[in-house]
Amino acid sequence: IWIFHGFSAEQDLVGNLASMSTSERIKAIQKMPATMKKKREIRNKVLKEIKKSRHHSARLSCGQRLQGTAVSFRRFGNSLSEYFHLLQFWHRALKIIGAKFGTSVLSYFIFLKWLLTFNIFSFLINFSFITVPQFLVAEPNNLSFTGLELFTGAGYFQQTVLYYGFYTNATITKIKNGPSYNMQLAYIFTVGLYFVICFLILLFSMAKSFCRNFINLQSYAGSASKLLCAWDFNITNEKAVKLKQKNLSTQIKEDLTEVNREVVNFSVKERAVRIVIHLASWISSLGTAVAACAGVYFLSLNNLKLFVKGHKNDLESQAAMLVLPIVASLLNAFVPFFYSWLGHLERYQTPGHQVYVTIARNIILKISIVGILCYYWVNIVATSQSQCWETLVGQDIYRLVLVNFLFCLLGSFFGEFLRRIIGTTFCVSLGLPKFDIGRNVLDLIYVQTLIWIGILFSPLLPGIQTIAFSIVFYVKKVSLIMNCQPPRKVWKTAQMTTSFMFLLFFPSFVGVLSVIGVTVWRLKPSEGCGPFRGLPSMYAAVSEWIKILENHTPSKWVVWIYYNLITRALFFFILSVPALIIAYLYWKIIQGRKTTIKLLHKQIIN
């Protein structure tokens, strides 16, 4: 009787749901207190019931046909939404990392995944609006491919869509008296629009992360809610249950560590010693950064002389230019180890302080090296005797990105794998290595800065970096799980992702905008290559287009926007106001964050 009653109730439920409209039926199924598997079964039965009721009628009215089409699209949309979480990049891998190593290490992989989506978006835009039209008028490449081009980026690749110099300056027209495609305007507008979108995405991401981690006070009172209300009763798989338990356990440990943090009182002598150690560490780190920048600058000058004197299509002279990216990558790889050693020497009270100080020193080093390279490209390479200096800059950035990627893989092997072998076999006292968050995050910011600069000179560079980021994620994940140990001190890092995005915005993105602005507005393009050949500047293409539009009445609104907004400094100042507000709020709330956390935790404990 009980089975029959349950079956009858389910049939009544299916009949009631079938009689509802599509939106009401979806809401009703979503609100049902049942597992996802049960909800899918009920939904499928409802759809079958609707299909059967339609077959009973001989003729379908127009309204019913439209309803059937709507149901089909709705079913397709529901299927996509059901499996969307399965198609998310590395969803399960991130859960495993967060459960075993905590949110501090997890923040690096979340940031890496975020940058990957950024580069996919960039590649799709450049490929669609710049590369595809160029394919229609591309001339055959007569250079031979030897394989060395994969490392140097020169030779055969020089006459491909990979670099700026290959793109035409003509207006593309495939049909007589048909629509035309202005390559100059497409190139500059695609790059410009991309940077505007990046600016808005970075602001939105920072604001969203900032509100979630700094302004939302409930995030500081999460221990009780995690303990009592955070369990998902729809989880039935044994592995998923254990993973969820470990994840919640790690999060609660992080909250309790922050609650039970002790303030150590030092004597006057101990404070003096600590201040001396901090000053010596900062002087050493800054001196190292200055020495590294000087070495990169003089090496870049020698490389340029070697390239100008040698044969420009000679692969041996091109291979000699690998010296600069190798030296830059060596500095970026080994100097951070010195900074990490300084952080251990200073003995900060919390791991968070040590990570932030290490990040600050690394960002000074890496941004300084990028700044020196930008000065070299803008002031020396752009005025050199090279026939196509834009392609030369693109090749330099290609080599820097490629060599940095190879050093990243070698760092995981030598810095973590061999370190684990030594720490577990030859010198047991060393133990397993730790995952260096600061060094790895700054590597991502460094290479993303190069990618942004290189977009103007090598439009397909984001596609190459997308492949590199994908490989780096899997290599780092495997190396982390196999070679590294979880942090001995569990600590909460909800605000770290916000800090990463802020560092990516400033000084990285803001510095890139400055370099791109100087290149577009001030530098003279090469005479014999690229879409802007023969113009006094890249921006002159826009000015000439506006002069043409002045004679067309339907396009007067474009002319008005150009003269009243684009050419006005006030317009760009207004655009920068949200960034300034976020930066001010970021600094202001950090000042009162410690007091707020202490008060909230006292209330929780009471």
Question: Nearest CA to 258 among 600, 1, 606?
Answer: 600
36 inside domain? yes
352 inside domain? yes
Give Rg (Cα) of the chain: 29
* Per-residue pLDDT, 334: 87
pLDDT band at 446 (very low <50, low <70, confident <90, very high): very high
Residue 75: Cβ-neighbour burial (10 angstroms; 0-12, 13-18, 19+): middle
Q: Which of 535, 568, 596 is the last residue of a domain?
A: 535
Query: Is residue 43 over pLDDT 60?
Result: yes
Spell out the residues 6+ positions from residue 567 whose beta carbon is closer than 8 angstroms to its own: none
Q: Are residues 112 and 214 in the same domain?
A: yes
Q: Cα–Cα distance between 21 and 46 in angstroms, integer?
A: 12
Query: Is residue 384 over pLDDT 70?
Result: yes
Q: Cα–Cα distance between 172 and 583 in angstroms, integer?
A: 44
* Per-residue pLDDT, 5: 42
Query: Is residue 324 over pLDDT 60?
Result: yes
Over range 309-315, report the average pLDDT: 54
User: How is residue 555 written in tokens?
Assistant: 């396009």
* Per-residue pLDDT, 124: 93
* Per-residue pLDDT, 354: 79
Number of domains in the chain: 2
User: How is residue 479 written in tokens?
Assistant: 């190396």
574 inside domain? no
Comparison of pLDDT for 422 and 370, the residue scoring more:
370
User: How is residue 48 written in tokens?
Assistant: 């079958």
Q: Are residues 18 and 125 in the same domain?
A: no
Q: Which of 510, 535, 560 is the last residue of a domain?
A: 535
Q: Are residues 99 and 20 in the same domain?
A: no
Over range 563-583, report the average pLDDT: 72
Q: Which of 535, 561, 582 is the last residue of a domain?
A: 535
Q: Are residues 292 and 400 in the same domain?
A: yes
Query: Is residue 58 over pLDDT 50?
Result: no
- The answer to whether the CB of 209 falls within 8 A of the CB of 493 is no
Q: Are residues 20 and 114 in the same domain?
A: no
* Per-residue pLDDT, 95: 80
Q: Cα–Cα distance between 113 and 92 in angstroms, integer?
A: 13
Query: Is residue 219 over pLDDT 50?
Result: no
Q: Are residues 111 and 75 in the same domain?
A: no
- The answer to whether the CB of 174 falls within 8 A of the CB of 167 is no
Stretch among 22-31, 251-260, 400-409, 597-606 having the lowest mean pLDDT:
597-606
Query: Is residue 4 over pLDDT 70?
Result: no
Question: Nearest CA to 103 among 500, 454, 459, 370?
Answer: 500
* Per-residue pLDDT, 401: 94
pLDDT band at 217 (very low <50, low <70, confident <90, very high): very low
Packing angle, helices 389-412 and 461-483, rounded to 10: 10
Q: Are residues 479 and 345 in the same domain?
A: yes
- The answer to whether the CB of 104 falls within 8 A of the CB of 487 is yes
pLDDT in tens, 452-463: 999 999 999 999
pLDDT in tens, 116-170: 988 999 999 999 999 999 988 888 888 888 888 888 888 888 889 999 999 998 8
* Per-residue pLDDT, 32: 77
Please give the share of the chain, as a percent, with pLDDT higher than 70. 73
Q: Are residues 137 and 26 in the same domain?
A: no
Q: Are residues 79 and 154 in the same domain?
A: no
562 inside domain? no
585 inside domain? no
Q: Are residues 409 and 363 in the same domain?
A: yes
Comparison of pLDDT for 118 and 306, the residue scoring more:
118
Query: Is residue 365 over pLDDT 80?
Result: yes
The beta strand positions in 99-213, using DSSP E, are 171-172, 181-182
What residue numbers bound the domain in which 46 lies? 1-50+71-85
pLDDT in tens, 273-299: 888 988 999 999 999 999 999 999 988
Spell out the residues 6+ positions from residue 69 whose beta carbon is closer than 8 angstroms to its own: none
Q: Are residues 36 and 182 in the same domain?
A: no
- The answer to whether the CB of 310 falls within 8 A of the CB of 317 is yes
Q: Count each helix (H run) and each strand (E run) in the chain, helices first.
A: 23, 2
Comparison of pLDDT for 11 and 443, the residue scoring more:
443
Q: Cα–Cα distance between 478 and 4 in angstroms, integer?
A: 53
* Per-residue pLDDT, 587: 62
User: How is residue 344 written in tokens?
Assistant: 């251990």
pLDDT in tens, 62-111: 555 555 565 565 555 555 444 444 445 577 788 888 777 877 788 889 88
Q: Are residues 81 and 100 in the same domain?
A: no
Query: Is residue 603 over pLDDT 60?
Result: no
Q: Cα–Cα distance between 12 and 520 in angstroms, integer?
A: 69
Q: Cα–Cα distance between 477 and 471 in angstroms, integer?
A: 10
Question: Nearest CA to 501 among 217, 90, 207?
Answer: 207
589 inside domain? no
Query: Is residue 421 over pLDDT 90?
Result: no
* Per-residue pLDDT, 355: 77
182 inside domain? yes
247 inside domain? yes
Question: Nearest CA to 18 among 61, 65, 67?
Answer: 67
